[in-house]
Structure 1
Amino acid sequence: MMAINRYRLKHRADSGHRSAVRVRMLLEMPERLIGVILIGNNLVNIAASALTTVIAIRLYPENPNLAITFATGMLTLIVLIFAEVTPKTMAQKHPEGIAYPASWILRPLLVVLYPAVVFVNSVSRGIMWLFKVRVTPQNHEALNADELRTMVSASGSSLAAKRQNMLLGILDLDNVSVEDIMIPRNELAGINLDDKVEDIRSQLNNTPYTRLPIYKGDLDRVIGFLHIRDAAEFLTSDQPTKVMLSRKATAPYFVPETTPLQTQLVNFQRKKIRIGLVVDEYGDVQGLVTLDDILEEIVGEFTTDVADNNKDIHPQSDGSYLIDGAASIRDINRILDWSLPADGAKTLSGLVIEQLEDIPDANMSLRIEGYQVEILQVSNNTITAAKLREL
């Protein structure tokens, strides 16, 4: 009864399984259930002991002490094997197979022995109260996120690996912030209204993106987002003007960089939008986040991201990897199944500079937690290329 899987029991009871319903009702009152089991168990054991003593004395009246000693040893062995170790081990191994039939007996026994159960439990509570032990009702079926994560990880073959990863991805959303998955500012493509009309038209004709931020001069002076379908008038007009673009732009949506992904997913859903600009505590634009980015954290990559056409990670014949310095640490760890530290810096370049506490020169090598990093190229105080291998 106590070893049964509570979640499987709940599922079967909710599905209408009669035995599961009975067992669940019994387990909703664990004190009474344990009370009736222990009353019956001790009653039988004590009765067996008294009966064995009487039989032993009657069989060997000439030496009652020896008879009682022998009978006690035999009864102890029989009770241990046939009433304790063997049945309880079987019940622990097959809890449902024994708990369901046992519920037919335990339920009426609980009714018959109810006064004795209430008396025993009341006395027990009184003794615990004297020792200042307070019994408070607890919901043993409630699980926190870490316990649920452990259950999903331990599900093994009963849950497909892809579904398992999706569930773990949902549970991990609160541990990941928008800053961890955003497209950094230096990789953003947008329309600068200070550019010439011909340059803007060429950019729109060749862009691989569906939505583009529109700004004047600097990305911190963003006007809004333009969907590529709303640029048709501008692209087909004989005399296109920048006003055609700015009036079609939707208002920009800003996201603090520390927002957890779980919160941002809800915000996207509530506001009915799919894209936002990530800002720091000073209001400066740091990058861009989309609903697709968050969903890919849960289900993995489900679309072909045009931004990934030129891969940042290139395997080499010697087993090492040539990696762009701007590559995300999270992406590197996910793609290569590595465990580079991702608590601080978000890019490979930032990680190396953080480890060295200085901007390195090219042709330099270092070890970062079991990984050899060889710096190949440095430009504008940033590492642009490095070779990594797992030691």
Structure 2
Amino acid sequence: MSDENPHSTNGSSNKSWLDKLSQLFQGEPQNREDLVDLIQDAEERDLIDPQTKEMIEGVLSVSEMKVRDIMIPRSQMVTIDIDQSLEDFIPLVIESAHSRFPVITEDKDHVEGILLAKDLLAYGFQQKDAQLMLKDVIRPVVLVPESKSVDSLLREFRQQRYHMAVVIDEYGGVSGLVTIEDILEEIVGEIEDEHDTQERHQEDIKRLSKNVFSVQALTPLNEFNEFFGTKFDEEEADTIGGIVLHAFGHMPSAGENIELGDLTFKVSSADSRRIQQLQVVLPKEEETV
């Protein structure tokens, strides 16, 4: 007489799933590969959907990461000098659309605090009489080592209610920064807000103030010349980013600037391969239409 279950196919498959699940919670010897197989099996049996599977895999990935793996590199940090006036740095705040900015003194190794963009509102809409002094409004900076585990940093972000930390290397120098959003994006994928959506459709050249413009590096050179009345050689490059890159003679980092004719070009954002966004400053006495 057979001991086989009459529903052997379904029974064995269910038993296989339950055995695996039971093994996970009984603390029996296992490894990461077993867990990945278990998650894959759960998706194939429609016990979890693909999005849930990706999120779980994201959590597993984060559990093995160090802060150095996800931080924004020092070269791409958007910072404000503590001695800058509101008039000087507000175009940068508007252009980057970030909510938090490291405030530095001598250089990026000397971060004095974090400026929250919302703390500037009182000086605009409420017309505060006192002149803005950054040292009076910045928040304390949180420093974390490159070697710190990402999952423990996420717990600290949640428990201590801060959203940004400056990353330091073994010698105490600043190597980058990390935000809670950087961690969450490793788990759930890229998080887009209304600014990200608008940014895809924004015009190539955007006025920030009377003499300051935000310009996408891929703006066709003929469009740039027509807008600013310049005469950059269209045979030298197809885009204004190409002209600026050629002038630098190397791949510039965010924050580097160069003067070409009467215009000052500052690199707003760039990666290791290309310039992405530029800030163009006209001479004080000049205006465009």
TM range (shorter): 0.5 to 0.7
Flag the structure with more relative contact order, 1 or 2, with Cα contacts below 8 A and sequence separation at least 6: 2
Unaligned runs of 5+ in 2: 16-24, 201-216, 218-244, 254-271, 275-289
Q: Does structure 2 retain, via aligned residues, the 8 Å contact 1:193–1:242?
A: no
Call closer, same or farther: CA 1:186–1:242 in 2, change over 3 Å.
Answer: farther
SS of the residue corresponding to residue 281 of structure 1 reads coil
The answer for the alignment partner of 1:93 in structure 2 is: 9
Please, which of 105, 108, 113 is the counterpart of residue 224 of structure 1? 113
Contact 2:122/2:128 (<8 A) preserved = no
Aligned to 2:38: 151
Q: Distance in 2 between matches of 1:143 and 1:194?
A: 56
Structure 2: which amino acid aligns with 1:229? K
Scaled by the length of structure 2, what TM-score is found? 0.57
The separation in 1 between residues aligned to 2:128 and 2:163, in whole angstroms, is: 32
| Residues in 2 aligned to 1:140 and 1:238: alpha-carbon distance in whole angstroms | 61
Does structure 2 conserve the Cα–Cα contact (< 8 Å) formed by 1:197 and 1:240? no
Which residue of 1 is the match for residue 250 of structure 2?
Answer: 379
In structure 2, relative to structure 1, the CA distance for the partners of 1:291 and 1:140 (3 Å cut) is: closer
RMSD value over aligned CA atoms?
3.7
Shift of 1:219: 1.8
- Whichever residue aligns with residue 76 of structure 2, its letter is E
- Partners of 1:379 and 1:242 lie apart in 2 by 37
**Deviation digits for residues 109-162 of structure 1, max 9, x if unmatched?**
xxxxxxxxxxxxxxxxxxxxxxxxxxxxx9466755442222002221512110
Query: Counterpart in 2 of 1:280?
Result: 169
TM-score (norm 1): 0.44
Measure, in 2, the Cα distance between the counterparts of 1:295 and 1:92. 42
1:170 counterpart = 2:41: no
**Which residue among 151, 160, 178 is the counterpart of 1:271?**
160
Amino acid of the structure 1 residue aligned with 2:250: S
- The separation in 1 between residues aligned to 2:39 and 2:172, in whole angstroms, is 39
Question: Aligned partner of 1:148: which letter?
Answer: L
The question of whether the paired residues in 2 share the 8 Å contact of 1:279 and 1:286 is answered with yes
Q: For the structure 1 residues 167 and 305, does the alpha-carbon distance in structure 2 shift closer, same or farther, using more than 3 Å as the test? A: farther
Q: Provide the rounded CA distance (Å) in 2 between the counterparts of 1:140 and 1:91.
A: 29
Unaligned 5+ segments in structure 1 are 1-81, 100-137, 311-323, 325-375, 386-391
What does the per-residue CA deviation read over 1:79-108, in whole Å, with 9 as the maximum and x for residues that have no partner?
A: xxx44xxx43857534389x9xxxxxxxxx
Task: Select which of 123, 136, 148 maps to 1:234.
Answer: 123
SS at 2:110 equivalent:
strand
Matches within 5 A, 1:160-199: 160-199=49-88
**CA 1:161/1:233 → structure 2, altered by over 3 Å: closer, same or farther?**
same
More helix by share: 1
1:185 shift after superposition: 1.4
Listed one character per residue, the Cα deviations across residues 313-362 of structure 1 (whole Å, up to 9, x for unaligned) are: xxxxxxxxxxx9xxxxxxxxxxxxxxxxxxxxxxxxxxxxxxxxxxxxxx
Number of aligned residue pairs: give it. 199
Q: Deviations over 1:232-281 (max 9, x none)?
A: 233454766342x3222110001111222111111212222111111111
